[in-house]
Amino acid sequence: MTASLVIAPQWIGDAVMTEPLLRVLSERGETLSVAAMPWVAPIYRAMPQVAQVIELPFSRGALQWWARRRFAHAWRGQFDRAYVGPNSWKSALLPWFAGVPVRVGYLGEARYGLLNQRLPNPNKDQRGAMVAHYLALAQTEEADSSLQPKLDLPLDLLKTTLQKFALKLGAYAVFAPGAEYGPAKRWPADYFAQLGERIGLPVVVLGSAKESVLCEDIADRINRVAPRRARSLAGLTDLGEAMALIASSQAVLSNDSGLMHVAAATGVPQVAVFGSSSPLHTPPLSDKAVVLWLKNEASYQPALDCSPCFERNCPLGHLRCLNDLTPERVEQAWREVVSG
């Protein structure tokens, strides 16, 4: 049995999209330990193929050379192979310090000495789907790039979370209006509120503590028209609870974000709104997902030649890719996914 170490990406969406890679590695007989930052560790605890999740004590973005060296020395002799998900130089330090014999990853930031099995960096002008990007680390032709990420949340977590927030299974909607990358990925708050007024379901608005003002604003707008229908739990849940709330909901509306990928991997009906990014690169991989992207709609004129720009803020200042996607259009898609 091969003991393998996986260095996890730091973004929620990327972490979800590594699941098919881990599934393939497990199926070929590798015992998997995942080293992950605390904010993505719950993702890997929802993957049955992961034998051990190791939470990393490092600061985001910091090199912390000596701390990484000390931490990794405790792993010496434990692992036969390592798979490095992120492309950063520092992410490859841990398996190198640990002396893992086979260290696999993309070349990334010129990681010639740190990795001994290096894949060439993908062309940035031809961004492919991220599941296939991570699956390539398995270095096997049998890996099926059409695999959809799957998360399996413990039943106890689902029950305790619903009890904690006084919610009933399948009796509410989840809105996730945030997108950490920037405003060019966020459908307007007023549009979220208009949809919440129309759907006739209690609405739980989820997000990080940084997004609490946005989420509370949306809940307040809904409640002004439909009293006590909505509440914001932004910053009031940990990631495990947010995942449980999504998995237990009737349907989810989100931007292109980490919670969008959580919804897809838990199999919940969802509507995903895309602005500056592309569903060709990071789609919600679920048969129950409807993607709305004006670039794809032939009836929308004039054509969005600027899309996708992958910018944090609209470089042209009009944000047509999101502002022109009306609440009426999203409501139509919502009712389609809810009706099955």
Sign of CA dihedral 192, 194, 200, 202: positive
Q: Which residues contact 314 (CB under 8 A, 6 or more apart)?
A: 183, 184, 276, 321
CA dihedral 23, 24, 25, 30 (to 10 degrees): 80
Contact of 245 with 167, CB cutoff 8 Å = yes
Looking at CATH, the fold of the domain delimited by 155-339 is given as Rossmann fold (3.40.50)
Q: Which residues contact 114 (CB under 8 A, 6 or more apart)?
A: 89, 92, 93, 95, 96, 103
3-state secondary structure of 234: coil
Pick from 115, 119, 191, 145: nearest CA to 20: 145
pLDDT band at 211 (very low <50, low <70, confident <90, very high): very high
Contact of 284 with 155, CB cutoff 8 Å = no
Largest CA distance in the chain: 62
- Average confidence (pLDDT) over 295-311: 89
Domain ranges of the chain: 2-138, 155-339
Q: Please give the pLDDT value at position 62.
A: 82
pLDDT band at 124 (very low <50, low <70, confident <90, very high): low
pLDDT at 126 over 80: no
Query: In CATH terms, are 2-138 and 155-339 the same topology?
Result: yes
The chain-wide mean pLDDT, for the chain, equals: 94
- Greater confidence (282 vs 244) lies with 244
In the block, residue with structure tokens 């912390």: 64
Q: Which helix (H) or strand (E) holds 251?
A: strand 251-255
Q: Please give the pLDDT value at position 134.
A: 95
pLDDT at 144 over 80: no
Q: Please give the pLDDT value at position 26.
A: 97
Question: Domain 2-138: which CATH class?
Answer: alpha beta
Q: Please give the pLDDT value at position 145.
A: 72
Contact of 35 with 8, CB cutoff 8 Å = yes
What pTM does this model have? 0.94
The Cα 246–Cα 240 span in angstroms is 10
Q: Poorest-confidence range of 87-91, 113-117, 296-300?
A: 296-300
pLDDT at 127 over 90: no
**Type of residue at 143:** A
152-207 residue pLDDT tens? 999 999 999 999 999 999 999 999 999 888 899 999 999 999 999 999 999 999 99
pLDDT at 321 over 70: yes
Pick from 323, 306, 302: nearest CA to 315: 306
- Average confidence (pLDDT) over 100-115: 95
